Amino acid sequence: MGGSSIANETVGVSSGREGITFYQIITNTYLLYTVSLISFFLVWDRVAAWQVFGDSLARPHIVALKLYDLTQIKFAGTNLGGHIWASTQRVLIGFSLASFFAVPLGLFMALNRYANAIVKPIFDLFKPMPPIAWVSISILWFGVGEFSKIFIISIGTFVPCLLNSYNGIRLIEPELYDVIKVLGGSRKDEVVQVSFPASFPAIFAGLQISLSVAWTCLLAAELMNARDGMGFLIKRGMDTHQPSLVLGGMILIALMAWLSSLLISLMERKLCPWKRSIDNL
C-alpha cells in the first residue's frame, strides 16, 4: 500500500527511493485531477445529452456558446461585461461600507467593555437572523433600486466582519500582553503594538467570510428583483426556461466569488506575512 495515504508524507524521504511502481503512477495527484475533471465534464455532458432531466440541463459547450453570445450582443440593455460590472459594483460598495464600520466597531467593542455591554446585546438580537431574511423588508423600505441591494449586502457582511474582529482581539494569547508589560509598555503600546497586529489574521478571516456572504446576499437580492447583474441573468434564464443561461450565470458568479476571495488572500499575504505558516496547512 505504498503511497496511498498521507501516512507516507510524514516518512516521504524513504518512500521515494524504491523506483516508480504502478501504485505510484495511479496515485499521482495531477493524473487524478485530470481524470476527475474530465470525467466530471463527461458525466455532465452525457446527463444533459441523454436528457435525464428533460431539457432542463444544458450541455457544457452550449453554456460556453451562450456566454460567448452574451459578450457579443446586448441582453436587457447591456452586454455580459455590463452585467458582471453591475453585480461587482454592488458587492464592492456594500462590502466596503460594512467593513469600514464593522471592523473598527468590533475592535472597539473588544477593547472597551462598556461599549461592549451596550452594543453586544443588540447585536446578539440580530445575529441569528439570516441576512437573506432582510430582502423583503429592504424592498419595502427602499424600493427595488440600487440602494436596497446595497443595504442587504451591508447587513449580511456587517455581522461576520464585526464578530471576527471582536474575537480576533479576544483570543489573543495573554502572554503577548505580559511581554509588553514586562518591557514597560503603556496601555497605548498594548493596543497599537499587540492588539491590532495580532488581530489581523482574524479580521482577514472575517473579510473572507463576509465576502462569500456578500455574493450570496447579492444573488438573493438580484433574484428577487433586478434589471441587470448576474443574478438577473439567472432569474431571466429561470423565467424563460433557458438552462444554458442559468448555468452561465452560475459559472460567472462562482468565478467572480472565487476571484474576489483570491484578491483578499493576496492582500492578507502582503499585510500580515507572519501568518503564512498557518496557511500552508
Partner 1 sequence: MAYEEIVVKKPLPLIALPCLSVAAFLLFWEWIVVSGTVPSVLLAPPSQVFTVFMDKLGNPNPDGAILAVHAWTSLQEAFIGYSLSLLVGIPLGLAMGWFRIVEGLIRPIFELIRPIPPIAWIPLTVFWFGIGLTGKVFIIWIAGIVPCVINSYVGVRMTQPTLIQMARTYGATDWQIFHQLCIPSALPMVFGALQIALAYCWTNLVGAELLASDTGLGYLITMGGRLGRPDIVVLGMVCVGISGAILGFIIDCVERRLLAGIRR
| Per-residue burial over 209-241, b = 16 or more CB atoms within 10 Å of its CB, e = otherwise | bbbbbbbbbbbbbbbbbbebbbbbbbbbbeeee
For partner 1, which stretch binds (CB under 8 A), given 32-40, 65-73, 86-94, 102-110? 32-40
Specify the length of the chain in residues. Answer: 281
Residue 5 touches partner 1, criterion: CB under 8 A? yes
What CA–CA distance (Å, rounded) separates 159 from 126? 9
Could you give the string, one character per residue 86-115, with x where binding to partner 1 holds by CB under 8 A and - elsewhere?
Answer: ---------------------------xx-
CB-based contacts of 231, cutoff 8 Å, min separation 6: 87, 218, 219, 220, 221, 222, 223, 249, 253
- 65 CA to centre of own chain: 27
Q: How many residues of this chain bind partner 1 (CB under 8 A)?
A: 70
What CA–CA distance (Å, rounded) separates 262 from 239? 33
β-pair partners for 75? 78
| Residues 144-173 contacting partner 1, CB under 8 A | none
| Residues 33-62 contacting partner 1, CB under 8 A | 33, 35-37, 40, 53-54, 56-57
Residue of 91, 102, 110, 134 that binds partner 1 (CB under 8 A) = 134
Contacting residues toward partner 1, per CB under 8 A? 1, 3-7, 10-11, 26-29, 31-33, 35-37, 40, 53-54, 56-57, 113-114, 117-122, 125-126, 128-137, 139-141, 212, 215-216, 219-220, 223-224, 234-235, 237-238, 241, 243, 246-247, 249-250, 253-255, 257-258, 261, 281
